[in-house]
Amino acid sequence: MITRRQFVRRLGLSAAVLPFLPALPSLGAPSKKPVQRIIFVFTPNGTVQPDFWLDAAGEFTAETKMKRILAPLDPFKSRMLMLKGLSNKIRGDGDGHMRGMSCLLTGIELFPGNIQGGSHSPAGWPKGLSIDQELRNHLQADAATRTRFGSLEIGVNVPNRADPWTRWSYAGPNQPLAPVSDPYDLFEKLYGRMKDRESLGSVLDEVSEDLRAVAAKLPAEEKAMLEKNATFVREMERELREDGGRRLRHAPPKLEQGVPVDNDGMPKVTAMQSELLVNAIANDMARVATLDFTNSVGQARMRWLGIDDGHHQLSHDADSNTASQEKLVKINTWFAEQLAALAKRLDAIPEPGGNGTMLDNTTILWTNELGKGNSHSLDNIPFVFVGGGLGFKRGRMEKYENEPHNRLWLSLAHAFGRDIKTFGNKDLSSGGPLALA
């Protein structure tokens, strides 16, 4: 994660390559091939299985109603695909949480290392890259699908320490990618310091006013120097006025200022990150993204739902503790609402140069570090697809018998035209891609 301050530091160090007014991406010519995009969404601590899955696999009917957790996704039912029975079968070093998060997108073991979980042997970073980066590299290798960033790693309240509990996207062995968890930082990454530049516009006005007052009383030579300076101020004002995002297909969102980036700010931060993400992909800055809520063993306290307990703490409580299970359902339902809001945003934007909406060409994949919190099980991990573009048959729930999730990543790779035989652990790739079409 980059803080604003760190960004500033970097800015300073590499100022030569970062002009003050960044060139914003121009309108790309619409590609002939249909655009494919994918957004991986992570939430922690497992789900409440009975309130998540439908009672039976198969195609949805008009009568099919989602269970409580997924109810917010009902409007997208026809564009949904639920995969039950997939398991993260990576073993070796690291506890369930570490492997749950860091082996989720990578499908490969962790190196031995010095990070000790609640059980098992200590471990380090995973031994390979994650599927989002595999897809990113594939798209970036082709000029027709290449975008400014390739992929965006976005977080919501991800702690700013780097370890296998806080990272899930990897550029390669030992190469964790830090998500940007502060929407103001993300804004800067995408659009430069536009917000500060907006402030600057009004400020420069005042400076000009005072410049005139001061210059009026000065001897000629000093006056000349100030007047020269005043022309630069005016030029910058004009550039700021003219630049306001006109080269973008979609103008940058107007972020509410001063939102605290902390636990209680989470609902607002989520909305901001989601808006920025949609805006960025609508402007074709990236076609792959990850969005992670907190971290493995994340301790969000969803006080806005009337829940004061930490999420991870609750997830340890027994199935028989109905009060806790109820809270966990509420928490996961809240996550589903955020997913629905994201899908809705994408569905509101027509696909440029194509048919349908952006959601029709964007797959949102919601997954989790665990199947179930209190057992720390890596079996039956939730995998829910919303959206389209991958050619998968939707409007159904598929049931597998404890298949390794590596096969799912192969399916994704193939859907993107990346014809690989294995991903991550070779043995767990056996059987090849799951047939989802």
Partner 1 sequence: MMRFRLTFVLGVALSPLAMGAVEETGAAIFKRLCAGCHGRAGQGVADKYDEPLQGERGVESLAKLIDRTMPDEHPEKLDAAGSRAVAEYIHGAFYSPQARAKNNPARREPARLTNRQFRESVADLIGSFLPPTPPAEGRGLLGEYFSSDGMNKKAKAAFGRVDLRMDFDFGEGAPQEGMKKEQFSIGWNGSLLVDHTGVYEFRIKTPNGARLYVNPDLRDGDKNSRDDSDAKRDVAMIDAWVSSGEQVREEKGAIFLLGGRRYPLRFDYFKYKDKRGSVTLEWKPPHGAWSVLAAPHIVPTSAPRVAVVATAFPADDGSTGFERGTSVSKAWHEATTKAAIEAAVEVSLRLGALAGTRSDVVKLKEFVAKFAARAFRRPLTDGQRELYVGRHFAEGVPPEVAVKRAVLAILKSPRFLFPELGAPDDHTAASRLALALWDSLPDAPLAEAAGKGELRTPGQLGAQAERMIHDPRAKAKIAEFFRHWLAVEFADDVTKDAAEFPGFDAALVADLRRSLELFVEGVVWGDASDWRQLLLAETIFLNERLAKFYGATPPVGEFDEVKFSPEQRAGIFTHPFLLSVFAYNKSSSPIHRGVFLTRNIMGRFLKPPPQAVEFKEEKFNPSLTMREKVTELTKKAACQSCHTTINPLGFSLEHYDAVGRWRETDGKKPVDAAADYTTPDGEVVKLRGARDLAQFTATSEDARRSFVRQMFQFLVKQAPASHGADTLQKLDKTFVESGTNIRKLAAEIAVAAALLPSPRPATASAR
User: Is there binding between residue 398 and partner 1 (CB under 8 A)?
Assistant: no
Cα–Cα distance measured from residue 399 to residue 176, given in angstroms and rounded to the nearest whole number: 32
User: Is there binding between residue 297 and partner 1 (CB under 8 A)?
Assistant: yes
The answer to whether the Cα torsion of 45, 380, 50, 268 is positive or negative is positive
User: Is there binding between residue 116 and partner 1 (CB under 8 A)?
Assistant: yes
Residue 174 CB, shortest distance to partner 1, in Å, is 5
Cα–Cα distance measured from residue 344 to residue 349, given in angstroms and rounded to the nearest whole number: 9
Closest to partner 1 by CB, 61 or 114: 114
Q: Where are the alpha helices (DSSP H) in 244-282?
A: 266-282
Closest to partner 1 by CB, 203 or 420: 203
User: Is there binding between residue 293 and partner 1 (CB under 8 A)?
Assistant: no
Q: Name which of residues 356 to 385 contact partner 1 (CB under 8 A).
A: none
Closest to partner 1 by CB, 287 or 312: 312
Which secondary structure element, helix H or strand E, spans residue 364, and what is its range?
strand 362-368
Three-state DSSP at 397 gives strand
Cα–Cα distance measured from residue 247 to residue 57, given in angstroms and rounded to the nearest whole number: 47
Q: What is the DSSP letter of 56?
A: S
User: Is there binding between residue 11 and partner 1 (CB under 8 A)?
Assistant: yes
Q: Binding string, 145-184, against partner 1, x = CB under 8 A? A: --------------xxxxxxx--------x-x--------
Report which residue type is found at 209.
E
Q: Hey, what are 211's tokens?
A: 């410049």
User: Is there binding between residue 5 and partner 1 (CB under 8 A)?
Assistant: yes
User: Is there binding between residue 209 and partner 1 (CB under 8 A)?
Assistant: yes
Q: Hey, what are 363's tokens?
A: 């797959």
User: Is there binding between residue 232 and partner 1 (CB under 8 A)?
Assistant: yes
Site size toward partner 1, by CB under 8 A: 65
Residue 235 CB, shortest distance to partner 1, in Å, is 7
Residues 6+ apart with CB under 8 A from 317: 324, 325, 374
Cα–Cα distance list, 280 to 154, 253, 268, 348, 373 (Å) = 11, 10, 18, 15, 33
Cα–Cα distance measured from residue 17 to residue 249, given in angstroms and rounded to the nearest whole number: 25
Q: Which stretch binds partner 1 (CB under 8 A): 45-53, 105-113, 138-146, 365-373?
A: 105-113
Binding site for partner 1 (CB under 8 A): 1-6, 8-9, 11-13, 15-16, 20, 111-116, 121-122, 124-125, 159-165, 174, 176, 193, 196, 199-200, 202-204, 206-207, 209-211, 214-215, 217-218, 221-222, 225-226, 228-229, 232-233, 235-236, 257-258, 262, 295, 297, 299
